[in-house]
A and B are shown apart, each in its own frame.
Chain A
Amino acid sequence: MTQQYADGKFGEYGGQYVPEALMPAIEELTDAYERYVLENEDGFMDEFRDRLRDFGGRPTPTQHAERLSERYGREVYLKREDLLHGGAHKLNNALGQVLLAKYMGKERIVAETGAGQHGTATAMAAAHLDMPCEIYMGERDINRQRPNVFRMRLNGSAVNPVTTGRGTLKEAISETMRDWATNVEDTHYVIGSVVGPHPFPAMVRDFQAVISEEARRQLREKTGGLPDSVLACAGGGSNTMGAFAHFVDDAEPRSADEASGGEPRDDESVDLYAVEAGGSTLEVDEEAGVAPNSASLSTGEEGVLHGARTKLLQDSDGQIMESHSVSAGLDYAGVGPELARLVDDGRVHAVNVDDDGALEAFHRLSQLEGIIPALETAHAFGYLEEHHEDLGEVVLVNVSGRGDKDLETVIEETEKRDIEAAPSMAEFSGGI
């Protein structure tokens, strides 16, 4: 993969906007990232890949989705990150960072989580590598993701409820930064997405890039070529960047080549779609400070939050807005700075699907393919349903995680809607 941005900035995006107490830790981490991840010092990346294989279950398959292909009249392939240990792509990054923390001699792990998948993955990685771990999670998210809270505690991590603000991921990140600032000398903060100060966006992308590295190889084996389009849901953007990383250089259109007399390579160009949470609407209630969506790539403005300059949901004064999505994992007012840059460059299409479309896709995929997707992932399938005609002959969708964690939310939200063929639980009492 091309190391496009060596200085830790993605054009005007990125950077290191953190309290001074954290800067030495950021410098130490940058040094460790360059030595261990980029240069494989002490065989770090070899050990990481070994553990991803044996503990994580990699490689995950790239599966041909027969009934979706039939439905849409094109070949649909699924990168099955839901089959990774823990049920989501999050383990790639969590395992990488916890292992890196061990190489750095750190003694304690802290992390934040929204949907609970990153917290679960971090708790598993910490247990696997014998590191004490504390997870911060918004109170509201704890209530809508109880199974994951239990899983974290099963793995021996402490789960600290965050009650400030709306009690979601934004507040959990702020609270974890406060813990890190207090305990920075022996603690590593495992940021859960391609957000935060450099080197996190680049480092998390590199840990997640295994998704597209495998998918590219697997698709070539199955089809002899590359996909025309790659779809991935985007909250902070870690599965998105992981799914895109090894396709970013397969740019389209190849007009420059064609103009210079080179061979057209349309068959090898890959369109990249970051599917955001459109929530209930893209309209914003600025007075209330609420964006009823999490579509920061589609509708956000440049600003500085949680250590990086990026696209944010914010009001005209620069106050960060409360975001919304039916999916806790996408419910964040910012997005990774590299994605912001790729969207500005026209390389990545920022699109969105609303709560209704995601819920319908959740049921559809479950019934057509026997795969219960995470609500986050369901957004990508919602986009496929609406726009498949524009996506070319071969479409790759990153199934970022499985939906077991979302069942309580889905039951509740489904009852509010008229979704064709959705099963009803009304005749049962006592929940699931």
Chain B
Amino acid sequence: MGDGSSVDDGSGSDPVRNPDLEAAFADGPAFVPYLAAGDPDYESSLEYVEALERGGADVIELGLPFSEPIAEGPTIQGAVVRALEGGMTPDRFFEFVEDLDVDVPLVCMTYYNLIYQYGSEQGPRPFVERAAEVGLSGFVVPDLPAEEADPLREACDEFGLDLVFIVAPTTRGDRLERIMSQVSGYVYVQARLGVTGAQEDVSGQTEESLDRLADYDVPKAVGFGIKTGEHAERIVAGGADGIIVGSALVDIVAEGAEAGESAETVAGRLEEKARELKQGALRGYEQRVPQAEGK
């Protein structure tokens, strides 16, 4: 997957593609971890994100905390509260990105009000411009459906950033077409209905969602509920081009914060978990490749 070609939906102009995100999906399954920037504090969070890269991250989704995260379950809500209490703001977030010592592409995950309010004028352009300056590669905005996304899409096109959309198990027909004509970078395949949160088992809805997306030539990264290497293996074996993992990692941060553990200890655990998830994804990919070759 990820041959760099654009989606041809017959709708005219294609979305701009960021070469960094394309590349991340080019060689085997991509592991896309999420952490809230600044959780539980600025310095520790820098270490945690860097640990994810050491553990095998191909793209990192960095959460910019919003006070009303309606798409998130209790785990990520907790991260948002800790990060906000730790003083995270949009400007601090951009500093955070600049301070990070990682080579993998970074995607900003946040809610639209923060993007809309940033800078001296209302509208998404100042935020996107600043994001491009600090080297972010794209955005995921859970409360911005394709119908309302034109202003952000235009700003992303202007500054060469990707706009990742979420496809839910309920997304079908015209809506699916509309989203897939706008998406760039990768499509975030929501594995099950509901909000974010690690699960004991992966959802049976995932396979059906991947089938619906099979004809679209854009990387498909599955998120919501992935907790273990075994989950990752099954998701990738089932056809995903990548896995997105948030709550299972945030849980480690939360436990560390609660127990008063050192940042180094928590970072080590995050790196280990990242490695487990990445290795699971690779095993799943190995199961898939012979099938693909046999076709």
Contacts and interface: CB of A to CB of B under 8 A. Distances in A.
A112 to B, nearest CB: 12
Contact of A20 (B70, B122, B145, B194): B145
**Chain B contact surface mostly:** loop
Contact of A15 (B72, B84, B148, B194): B148
Given A178-B73, A320-B68, A17 B143 contact: yes
B195 A181 contact: yes
Interface residues of A, number: 37
Contacts of B122: 302
Given A303-B113, A305-B68, A317-B117, A20 B165 contact: yes
Interface string A168-188: 001000100110011111000
B168 A21 contact: yes
Nearest to B71: A19
Contacts of B111: 304
Contacts of A27: 175
B148 A21 contact: no
B169 A21 contact: yes
A97 B66 CA distance: 30
A284 to B, nearest CB: 15
Contact of B193 (A18, A23, A181, A316): A181
B77 interface: yes
A306 interface: yes
A184 B168 CA distance: 11
Interface in A34-78: none
A25 interface: yes
Contacts of B67: 165, 289, 319-320
Interface residues of B, number: 42
A164 interface: yes
Nearest to A12: B122
Nearest to A163: B74
Interface SS of A by simple majority: mixed
A19 B68 contact: no
B114 interface: yes
Contacts of A183: 193
Nearest to A177: B70
Interface string B38-80: 0000000000000000000000000000111111110001000
- Please indicate which of the listed interface residues B111, B117, B165 has the most CB atoms of chain A within 10 Å of its own CB: B117
A20 B193 contact: no
Interface in A124-145: none
Nearest to B172: A24
18 contacts: A18-B145, A20-B165, A20-B190, A23-B145, A23-B175, A24-B168, A24-B171, A164-B81, A178-B73, A182-B195, A303-B116, A303-B117, A314-B117, A317-B117, A318-B66, A318-B118, A319-B67, A319-B84
Given A178-B70, A185-B170, 12 more contacts: A18-B70, A18-B143, A24-B171, A181-B194, A181-B195, A182-B194, A289-B67, A304-B112, A305-B68, A305-B113, A314-B117, A318-B113
Interface of B: 66-73, 77, 81, 84, 89-91, 111-114, 116-118, 122, 142-145, 147-148, 165-172, 175, 179, 190, 193-195
Interface of A: 15-21, 23-25, 27, 164-165, 170, 174, 177-178, 181-185, 289, 301-307, 312, 314, 316-320
